[in-house]
């Protein structure tokens, strides 16, 4: 077994104790943003930002990416004789596939033109594709550009990622980032080489309910088939949403009191229609529902009046469908009944529809 000479061991231990005793303590104290930032947006989408032919939101079916204000700031209290060094790296998922593809950072800010974002430059910078994010009707000198704002109040310094312009470089606007999952990593260090980091995961999403207005009421007459099918849009006056376009909103309908939540059929799909027949003549209440691309819902109710002004229902009384061991025309009928159909029936039994004929 090799032994360390006594003199060498003493020098080694002395060096370790000496470096620990005289290790530099950071001359700053940082206050990090939250490690997880949930941005629940209910504001109307800004048509002047993130709205261009290159962008596409498949859920909302629009080239105008929904966005929300995000305050991204690091605060440091400092007693340092020299200025602190602060940098950031922001990774954005602008195509909504769950992985970041765009990098904006302190080391590439000078290369990013006003009104543009360096799309698809992460992780491979060679795939960089410049895309417009600011299409506000302003002069080029007033287009937004990404930057790092620094302010001081005594020995408390605040570093904030924001937008300014060539026209007014000292005026800063709060970032508006598209919906999605993004990340920001801050690095702060002093002149003695003490370095610390902060990381924030950002989730920007829509939580504003759609607005929905139903018709004041609806009156219908049964058809010669002694029934009528009504669609969800038959009850709709207008609808809108802060995020989802009208053609991407989903509607559903149900008889009031027949369930809760957004109306779904037996296959789990939106229930778009209701059928009324001779047994439904009279007054009803109908629930019309709307759902946006983020799953937010709202509903309103409509009074419905079902009539049989042409007396299509006067010649018969419809009975409830029944399951029987008999199949099709083999069903034994009394003279006052007529076989009118046989849709599928669970198990080995058969579902039979009967009509009673008036004499």
| CA–CA distance, 123 with 92 (Å, rounded to integer) | 11
Phi, psi of 184 (to 5 degrees): -130, 135
Q: Which domain range does residue 282 map to?
A: 208-314
The answer to whether 209 and 296 have CB atoms below 8 angstroms apart is yes
Residues whose CB is less than 8 angstroms from the CB of residue 185 and which lie 6 or more positions away in sequence, other chains included: 88, 89, 197, 198, 199, 200
The answer to whether 122 and 102 have CB atoms below 8 angstroms apart is yes
- Check residue 266 and give its pLDDT: 94
How long a stretch of residues is the chain? 359
Identify the DSSP state of 101.
Answer: -
Residues 47 and 173 reside in one and the same domain: yes
Indicate whether 1 belongs to any domain.
Answer: no
The answer to whether 231 and 256 have CB atoms below 8 angstroms apart is no
The answer to whether 196 and 24 have CB atoms below 8 angstroms apart is no
Q: Which of 156, 189, 206 is a domain's end point?
A: 206
Beta strand pairing status for 28-31 and 316-318? unpaired
Phi, psi of 289 (to 5 degrees): -115, 155
Residues 131 and 178 reside in one and the same domain: yes
Indicate whether 13 belongs to any domain.
Answer: no
The answer to whether 200 and 35 have CB atoms below 8 angstroms apart is yes
Q: Which long-range contacts (CB under 8 A, 24 or more apart) does 312-316 make?
A: 312/222, 312/223, 312/224, 312/225, 312/226, 312/278, 313/222, 313/226, 313/278, 313/281, 315/357, 315/358, 316/278, 316/355, 316/356, 316/357, 316/358
pTM of this prediction exceeds 0.85: no
Residues 127 and 170 reside in one and the same domain: yes
Residues 164 and 43 reside in one and the same domain: yes
Q: Which two tokens stand for residue 108?
A: 């590439």
- Check residue 132 and give its pLDDT: 98
Strand partners, 118: 130
Indicate whether 168 belongs to any domain.
Answer: yes
Output the domain CATH number for residue 212.
Answer: 2.60.40.10
Residues 287 and 344 reside in one and the same domain: no
Residue with tokens 């690095």: 187
The answer to whether 271 and 253 have CB atoms below 8 angstroms apart is yes
- Check residue 24 and give its pLDDT: 78
Phi, psi of 7 (to 5 degrees): -65, -45
Indicate whether 70 belongs to any domain.
Answer: yes
Q: Which two tokens stand for residue 207?
A: 């939580």
| CA–CA distance, 28 with 186 (Å, rounded to integer) | 14
| Strand order, beta sheet including 282-291 | 218-221, 297-307, 282-291, 250-255
Residues 104 and 175 reside in one and the same domain: yes
For 173: left if phi > 0, alpha if psi spans -120 to 50, otherwise beta; the answer is beta
Q: Which of 189, 206, 223 is a domain's end point?
A: 206
Count CB-CB contacts under 10 A for residue 16: 10
User: Digits of tens for pLDDT over the chain (359 positions)?
Assistant: 455 454 444 444 444 443 344 447 999 999 999 999 999 999 999 999 999 999 999 999 999 999 999 999 999 999 999 999 999 999 999 999 999 999 999 999 999 999 999 999 999 999 999 999 999 999 999 999 999 999 999 999 999 999 999 999 999 999 999 999 999 999 999 999 999 999 999 999 999 999 999 999 999 999 999 999 999 999 999 999 999 999 999 999 999 999 999 999 999 999 999 999 999 999 999 999 999 999 999 999 999 999 999 999 986 544 445 555 555 455 555 444 444 444 455 444 454 455 544 43
| DSSP, residue by residue, 13-42 | HHHHHHHHHTPPPPSEEEEPPPSEEEEEE-
The answer to whether 45 and 243 have CB atoms below 8 angstroms apart is yes
Phi, psi of 49 (to 5 degrees): -125, 140
Q: Which two tokens stand for residue 168?
A: 């007014």
The answer to whether 88 and 100 have CB atoms below 8 angstroms apart is no
Identify the DSSP state of 59.
Answer: T
Q: Which of 179, 206, 233 is a domain's end point?
A: 206
Residues 232 and 286 reside in one and the same domain: yes
Helices (H) and strands (E) in the chain, counts: 1, 25
Number of domain units in the chain: 3
Among 134, 9, 147, 113, CA closest to 65: 134
Residues 321 and 306 reside in one and the same domain: no
């Amino acid at each position: 077994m090799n032994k360390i000479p006594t003199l060498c061991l003493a020098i080694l231990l002395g060096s370790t104790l000496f470096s620990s005793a005289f290790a530099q303590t950071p001359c700053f104290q940082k206050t990090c943003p939250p490690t997880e930032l949930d941005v629940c947006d209910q504001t109307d989408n800004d048509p002047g930002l993130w709205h261009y032919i290159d962008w596409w939101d498949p859920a909302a079916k629009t080239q105008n990416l929904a966005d929300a204000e995000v305050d991204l700031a690091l605060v440091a209290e400092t007693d340092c004789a020299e200025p602190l060094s602060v940098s950031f790296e922001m990774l954005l998922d602008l195509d909504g596939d769950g992985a970041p593809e765009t990098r904006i950072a302190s080391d590439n800010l000078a290369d990013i033109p006003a009104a543009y974002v360096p799309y698809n430059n992460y992780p491979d910078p060679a795939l960089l594709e410049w895309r417009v994010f600011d299409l506000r009707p302003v002069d080029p000198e007033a287009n937004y550009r990404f930057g790092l704002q620094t302010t001081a109040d005594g020995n408390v310094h605040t570093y904030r990622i924001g937008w300014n312009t060539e026209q007014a470089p000292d005026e800063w606007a709060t970032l508006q980032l598209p919906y999605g999952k993004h990340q920001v990593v801050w690095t702060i260090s002093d002149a003695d080489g003490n370095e610390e980091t902060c990381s924030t995961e950002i989730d920007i999403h829509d939580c504003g309910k759609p607005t929905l207005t139903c018709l004041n009421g609806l009156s219908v007459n049964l058809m010669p088939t002694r029934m009528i099918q009504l669609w969800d849009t038959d009850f709709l006056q207008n609808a809108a949403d802060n995020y989802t376009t009208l053609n991407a909103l989903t509607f559903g309908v149900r008889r009031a009191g027949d369930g809760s939540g957004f109306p779904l059929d037996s296959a789990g799909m939106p229930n778009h229609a209701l059928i009324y027949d001779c047994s439904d003549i009279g007054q009803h209440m109908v629930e019309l529902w709307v759902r946006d691309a983020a799953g937010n819902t709202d509903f309103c109710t409509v009074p419905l009046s079902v009539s049989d002004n042409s007396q299509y229902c006067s010649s018969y009384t419809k009975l409830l469908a029944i399951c029987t061991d008999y199949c099709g025309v083999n069903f034994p009928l009394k003279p006052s009944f007529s076989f009118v159909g046989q849709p599928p029936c669970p198990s080995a039994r058969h579902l039979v529809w009967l009509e009673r004929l008036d004499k």
